[in-house]
Amino acid sequence: MTDDGTTTAAATSTLGYEQARDELIEVVRRLEAGGTSLEDSLALWERGEELAKVCRRWLEGARARLDAALAGPADPEGAGDAAADAG
């Protein structure tokens, strides 16, 4: 990959979920509108794939955090459960 592509990939990995999602929406809009050259369409498609991966990583991370929170505290003695049962 070229330096420009490496820089773009590094910049993509630092995007927040909302930023990546909004840019992905714009990429899809441009692809659906048509009127771009084959080369530009391919570049847009590749960018969209990168952005989709960023969104997927954020969502998987959020799912893991939710699952951990729903599983309850990592207290081996279950003190958190006893407090919840008392209420």
Task: Round to whole Å and give the CA distance between 55 and 64.
Answer: 14
**Residue 73: predicted pLDDT:** 75
* pLDDT score of 12: 78
* Whether the predicted pLDDT of 82 surpasses 70: no
Q: 15-21 — which CB contacts under 8 Å span 24+ positions?
A: 15/51, 15/54, 16/58, 17/54, 17/55, 17/58, 17/59, 20/51, 20/54, 20/55, 20/58, 21/51, 21/55
Least confident of 25-29, 58-62, 78-82: 78-82
**What integer pLDDT is reported at residue 16 of this predicted model?**
96
Could you tell me the pTM of the whole model? 0.69
